[in-house]
Amino acid sequence: MFKTLLVIGLVFNQMNSFGVSLLPEFSAVYNSRKKAVVIKWQHASAEIKTYTLQHSSGNKTWTDIALQEVGPVTANRSFYFEDKKFVTGENYYRLKCMYADGKTVYSLQVIVMITSATKSWIIYPVPVTDLLTLEYRGSEPIRGVINIIIQQPSGRIFTKKRYGSLSRQIKIPVDHLPKGIYDIRILVQEEVIWDQRFIK
């Protein structure tokens, strides 16, 4: 439902037996500020006329997501693309390079892992009487201040609290709340990463 957090970017270069790069220097990494996977590559050969950037979520079926035609320029020119349609899980990227003589060559893949914290929180006890506990059981670090909001389904807010990103168990007094049904939400970097309903 909601995407959060970075993981891992693996970068590969394809070399010949003499250690000379045959294909563009190619990298991809998630940028949390831009909320996008940022892909960069270096124009490696004046013989390459077109780059097609491709994406796959399973390393089987590939989809074209960007096309870059190269004019009469020298090598070492850089290109840049932001993919904001990434998926939670494995994101594979590669370049399809079209040469002037009609030859097509593919770069090796770059893998970017995007993980989600939406299933890593648990809440107890439910129903609750006086003290509600939130516990984070995920393995990925939380990258930002944890904001917690408790409100009625009608939208009326009863509680707003902030906790440090290293907090793993949060206890919230709810003895002041009238009996009823409440929604609790966790926000990190202004994004709702978890929401649940509980009974008092």
Average pLDDT on 6-22 reads: 34
Question: Residue 2 half-sphere exposure, CB side, CA atoms within 13 Å?
Answer: 17
* Cβ neighbours around 143 below 10 Å, total: 13
Q: What is the pLDDT of residues 121-142, one digit of tens each?
A: 888 888 888 999 988 877 777 8
CA distance 30 to 56: 16
Q: What is the pLDDT of residues 56-104, one digit of tens each?
A: 998 889 999 999 988 766 556 788 899 988 887 788 899 999 998 999 9
Tokens representing 108 are: 């090796």
CA distance 169 to 182: 20
Q: What is the pLDDT of residue 107?
A: 87
Most confident of 121-130, 131-140, 157-166, 190-199: 157-166
Are 70 and 41 spatial neighbours (Cβ–Cβ below 8 Å)? no
CA distance 54 to 62: 6
- How many residues does this entry show for the chain? 200
CA distance 17 to 4: 41
Tell me, letter by letter, the H, E, C secondary structure of the chain: CCCCCEEEEECCCCECCCCCECCCCEEEEEECCCCEEEEEEECCCCCEEEEEEEEECCCCCCEEEEEEECCCCCCCCEEEEEECCCCCEEEEEEEEEEECCCCEEECCCEEEEECCCCCCEEEECCCCCCEEEEEECCCCCCCCCEEEEEECCCCCEEEEEEECCCCCEEEEECCCCCCCEEEEEEEECCEEEEEEEEEC
pLDDT above 50 for 34: yes
**Domains of the chain by residue range:** 6-114, 121-199
Tokens representing 142 are: 């939380």
Average pLDDT on 186-198 reads: 84
Say which CATH architecture domain 121-199 belongs to: Sandwich (2.60)
**pTM of this structure:** 0.53
CATH of 6-114, one of 3.40.50.300, 1.10.260.40, 2.60.40.10, 3.40.50.150: 2.60.40.10
Same-fold call for 6-114 versus 121-199: yes
- Write down the residue that tokens 């090796």 correspond to: 108
Please name which of 134, 185, 125 lies closest in space to residue 155, comparing C-alpha atoms.
Answer: 185
